[in-house]
């Protein structure tokens, strides 16, 4: 968030919570804490804080919650996105080349029979 956005947000917070004052030190502190935060996530975090706690919102708490909100939104989006289809070369050999699979299977059977005969003698 940019400083003008922080000023608007502090004005908005002050409208329902007089403990958060709009002054230069507060603007600087909040702007630093929310520098890499989107305004919508910060607003949602403030509303959640207001609903859950009786204390005044602190910049660090709001920044942390806003990051959590962004992360959970991204995770939800990833969960809804389909995984890319498997390329043909990643299919099992049995499906890619059934004839070769049968040859290898037969060779394995013969090798196993030979090993068992050698052990028996």
Q: How far apart are CA 77 and CA 33, in angstroms?
A: 26
Sign, CA torsion 47/45/51/57: negative
Q: Which pLDDT does position 93 carry in this prediction?
A: 82
- Pick 8 or 83 by higher pLDDT: 8
Q: Which pLDDT does position 27 carry in this prediction?
A: 96
Global pTM reads 0.64
pLDDT band at 84, cuts 50/70/90? confident
Sequence ranges of the domains in the chain: 3-80, 88-120
Rg (the chain; Cα; Å)? 31
* Residues 39-67: tens digit of each pLDDT: 999 999 999 999 999 999 999 999 999 99
Q: How far apart are CA 6 and CA 1, in angstroms?
A: 7
Q: State the alpha helices, DSSP H only, in the chain.
A: 3-16, 24-33, 39-52, 59-80, 93-96, 98-120
Q: How far apart are CA 31 and CA 6, in angstroms?
A: 6
């Amino acid at each position: 968030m940019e400083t003008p956005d922080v000023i608007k947000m502090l004005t908005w917070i002050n409208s329902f919570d007089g403990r958060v004052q709009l002054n230069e030190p507060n603007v600087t502190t909040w702007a630093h804490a929310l520098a890499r935060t989107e305004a919508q996530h910060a607003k949602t975090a403030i509303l959640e804080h207001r609903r859950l706690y009786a204390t005044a919102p602190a910049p660090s708490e709001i920044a942390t919650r806003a990051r959590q909100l962004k992360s959970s939104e991204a995770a939800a989006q990833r969960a809804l996105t389909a995984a890319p289809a498997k390329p043909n070369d990643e299919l099992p050999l049995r499906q890619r080349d059934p004839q070769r699979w049968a040859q290898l299977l037969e060779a394995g059977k013969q090798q196993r029979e030979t090993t068992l005969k050698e052990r028996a003698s």
